[in-house]
Amino acid sequence: MKKKGGAFPSLADRLELPEEALSGAPRLTVTNGSRALIENHRGILEYNRERITVNFKKGRLCLSGRELRIAAMNREELLVRGVLQDITWSGIWES
């Protein structure tokens, strides 16, 4: 089997998924400034009503705001609700 760019399509292509879905890359979806879905996290580093810091394989994400709370969490996804005011990524991710 050939590597990426060869005659065979990647698994992501065959399943019609974005490449990051299988690579474990961090993914953040913010809705209406009050809901943040964080995917492929590696745990929570800081949690209070004004700040939530989430760890990733190669960096971290900091959500700041008011009345922040973790609405749901599993091994791969984290749902934050509240008034989101600032989002900061730190670390190095390969493109």
Structural domain including 55 reads 24-90
pLDDT of residue 30: 95
- The answer to whether 40 and 27 are in contact (CB under 8 A) is yes
pLDDT tens digits for 15-71?
A: 666 665 556 788 899 999 999 999 999 999 999 999 999 999 889 999 999 999 999
In a domain, 69, yes or no: yes
Q: Give the domain CATH number at 71.
A: 2.60.40.2000
Question: What pLDDT does residue 31 have?
Answer: 95
Nearest to 52 by CA among 27, 39, 61: 61
Residue 8 covered by a domain:
no
Q: How many domains does the chain have?
A: 1
pLDDT tens digit string along 73-89?
999 999 999 999 999 99
What is residue 94's predicted lDDT score, i.e. its pLDDT? 55
pTM: 0.75
- Judge whether 65 lies within some domain: yes
